Amino acid sequence: MSFTPGSAASFSNAVVVSTSNGGSSTNPVTGIGAQAPAAAFTASPTRGLKPLAVTFSDSSSGTITNRFWDFGDGSTTNITDNSFSHTYTGADLYTVSLTVSGPLGASTSIRTNYIAVSVQPLITAVRVSGSNVIVSFSSSAGVSYSLDYIDSLTSSAWNIAISPIPGTGAIVTATHVNGVSPRFRFYRVTQLP
């Protein structure tokens, strides 16, 4: 005799037990069905400047009695909320994992290098080589940048010199070919979304 509900809900029924000599008994059965957990989650935003507040949303399925989050920055929690925020204070790439468990086992979802936290890029050097302008700036690993320029501070329309430029976590050097202008030229580095 078995009780196998098809979904995670409350059920009731009756079990009839018959014997070979013609007797029988009817017994009520109640219970709650359980389903195996399957871990899944999303986050927003997944990249940005530090400190970065990230909202995590648990989209796991099944019968879940415990959620264990590892944010990759040394912080963990057993929070029961399906949606909550965690703030990253260091610039790095972070691997996030969620382990959900219940009466039918456990499931883990791991998202490698899922959160990219960076620092504001800082131009460290600008130099001219022939007709080229060479710009060096600080970068964060896993983030891409754009080197932009304008020829007048009264202009609000920046031109793209080079994009995308991959960050390395160290100083990056980008060459704006034929970037020398007969007048003034102003440069900026922006992080791409």
Q: Express each pLDDT in 61-120 by its tens digit.
A: 999 999 999 999 999 999 889 999 999 999 889 999 999 999 999 999 999 999 989 888
Q: Is the dihedral of CA 162, 163, 167, 168 positive or negative?
A: negative
127 has a pLDDT exceeding 90: yes
What is the spatial distance between Cα 68 and Cα 125, in angstroms, rounded to a whole number?
A: 45
pTM of full prediction above 0.75:
no
How far are the Cα atoms of 38, 67, 78, 83, 102 from residue 106, in angstroms, in the given order? Answer: 8, 10, 14, 20, 6
